[in-house]
């Protein structure tokens, strides 16, 4: 009987869920990802059109630190402004101008709304000068009305890391959300902080 209880206790230990949700990864070894969609990798001019707002600056640059988890060629460079809520937003417009409307053409084929059946987690690679910088990631539907994750901060200085945004608790509806808003140093007034972003992707959880 004693042996039975020992076995039972061992089985319960094995069955106990491990703590897998770790928004900022906190130095944990990255498990193999099941990437269902890549939204942006900034290679060859990038996939989306990014617009900086409230004084933020944003441009595509050569990867300043090809090492660790990100050895790709090109990344997005975000420089913060004194505004508490400076940000960048993505849209489905390309840089090509439609001669009829004189407006940028839509990139409809490249940008369909997110299907959360393919995963609730959005991951972004980030290279920051310091740990503890809050990075908000908001998903928006046409015309605004976004939902954001506010509890993610950088955890490393001068080293690529993965920022993880889990939208499952927000129970967002599939087929509606299509644009990103990224706010670095969210709520802070520090200007001139340069943070690099790359590999915006949708990942299936365990």
For the segment 148-177, give every residue that binds Ca ion (CB under 5 A). Answer: none
Among 25, 37, 52, 72, binds Ca ion (CB under 5 A): 72
Among 50, 198, 201, 203, binds Ca ion (CB under 5 A): 198
Whichever of 76 and 119 has its CB closer to Ca ion, that residue is 76
Whichever of 74 and 193 has its CB closer to Ca ion, that residue is 74
Total number of residues that touch Ca ion (CB under 5 A): 5
Which residues, including other chains, have CB under 8 Å from residue 155's CB and lie 6 or more apart?
24, 25, 26, 27, 131, 132, 161
Asked if 180 and 140 count as a contact pair (C-beta separation under 8 A), the reply is yes
Tokens of 192: 């001139």
136 scored as a contact of Ca ion (CB under 5 A): no
Among 39, 40, 41, 80, binds Ca ion (CB under 5 A): 41
Whole-angstrom CA distances from 168 to 90, 105, 127, 146, 176 are 22, 32, 25, 15, 15
State the virtual CA torsion across 23, 29, 33, 38 in degrees, nearest 10.
Answer: 60
As to burial, measured by CB atoms within 10 angstroms (0-12 exposed, 13-18 middle, 19+ buried), residue 25 is: middle
The C-alpha angle with vertex 114 and arms to 84 and 132, in degrees rounded to 5, equals: 30
At closest approach, how far in Å is the CB of 75 from Ca ion? 5
Whichever of 75 and 121 has its CB closer to Ca ion, that residue is 75
At closest approach, how far in Å is the CB of 183 from Ca ion? 21
35 scored as a contact of Ca ion (CB under 5 A): no
At closest approach, how far in Å is the CB of 104 from Ca ion? 22
Residue nearest to Ca ion (CB): 72
Whichever of 81 and 163 has its CB closer to Ca ion, that residue is 163
125 scored as a contact of Ca ion (CB under 5 A): no
Strands (E), 41-120: 49-53, 57-62, 74-79, 87-91, 93-98, 103-106
42 scored as a contact of Ca ion (CB under 5 A): yes
Residues that bind Ca ion (CB under 5 A): 41-42, 72, 74, 198
């Amino acid at each position: 009987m004693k042996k039975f209880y020992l076995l039972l206790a061992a089985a319960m230990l094995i069955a106990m869920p491990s703590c897998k949700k770790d928004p900022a990864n906190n130095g944990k070894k990255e498990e193999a990802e099941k990437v269902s969609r890549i939204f942006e990798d900034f290679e060859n001019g990038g996939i989306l059109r990014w617009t900086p707002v409230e004084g933020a600056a944003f441009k595509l640059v050569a990867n300043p630190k090809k090492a660790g988890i990100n050895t790709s060629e090109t990344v997005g460079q975000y420089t913060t402004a004194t505004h508490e809520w400076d940000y960048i937003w993505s849209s489905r417009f390309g840089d090509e101008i439609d001669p009829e409307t004189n407006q940028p053409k839509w990139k409809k084929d490249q940008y369909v709304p997110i299907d959360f059946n393919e995963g609730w987690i959005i991951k972004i690679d980030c290279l920051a000068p310091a740990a503890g910088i809050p990075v908000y990631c908001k998903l928006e539907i046409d015309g605004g009305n976004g939902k954001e994750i506010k509890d993610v901060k950088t955890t490393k200085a001068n080293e690529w890391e993965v920022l993880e945004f889990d939208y499952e608790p927000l129970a967002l509806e599939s087929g509606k959300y299509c644009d990103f808003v990224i706010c670095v140093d969210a709520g802070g007034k520090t200007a001139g902080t340069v943070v690099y972003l790359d590999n915006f992707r949708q990942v299936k959880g365990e």
